[in-house]
Amino acid sequence: MALGPQQMPPQGAKALVAGLLNGRRSRAEVSAVLDESEAGSSTIEFLNEGSGTAVQLQYVAERIDGQLAAHSVGDLGPGAIFRGELREGVAPDRSFRLVWRCQNLKGHVRAWSYDGRSKRLHGESAATAEAAFRAMYR
């Protein structure tokens, strides 16, 4: 097989598509930002930066008393933003611990923590948002 000018081999086409998608094929990539700009109020904002839908997005925050509080966001499409009030509060003298998890369309579960870690979860650690929190902070 000979290729002429302006023709691309199949491997090149595959590499081009991967490059255009930043290596993320139909994967949710959810980030979170804590906004404390208003006195006495904390807001958490989630952004799906990936090209896939974040299915059943949930987050767990550690309250000031050390208990876990789970919240459900629902599905978050590519480029979508969810903003909600963080009722747990943030203690200025302790580190803020927050974990969010979602599934992709194939059912794989991924979790992220506010301190920058990310992990693909399996089995028991993928079952609930609280289990994901414990898996991230073992």
- Domain residues for the domain of 106 are 25-136
49-82: pLDDT as tens digits:
988 999 999 999 998 888 899 999 999 999 999 9
- The whole-number average pLDDT for the span 80-97 is 79
Structural domain contains residue 86 = yes
Q: Six-digit token pair at 127?
A: 């079952």
Domain count, the chain: 1
Give domain status of residue 10, yes or no. Answer: no
pLDDT bracket for residue 43 (50, 70, 90)? confident
- CATH code of the domain containing 61: 2.60.40.2420
Average pLDDT over residues 113-125: 93
pLDDT of residue 3: 53
Whether 123 is covered by a domain: the verdict is yes
pTM of the full structure: 0.77
Inside any domain, residue 19: no
Strand segments (E) across the chain: 30-35, 43-48, 54-62, 68-76, 81-85, 98-103, 109-113, 118-121
96 located within any domain: yes
- Any domain includes 12: no
Average model confidence (pLDDT) across the chain:
84
Kindly state whether residue 73 falls inside one of the protein's structural domains.
yes
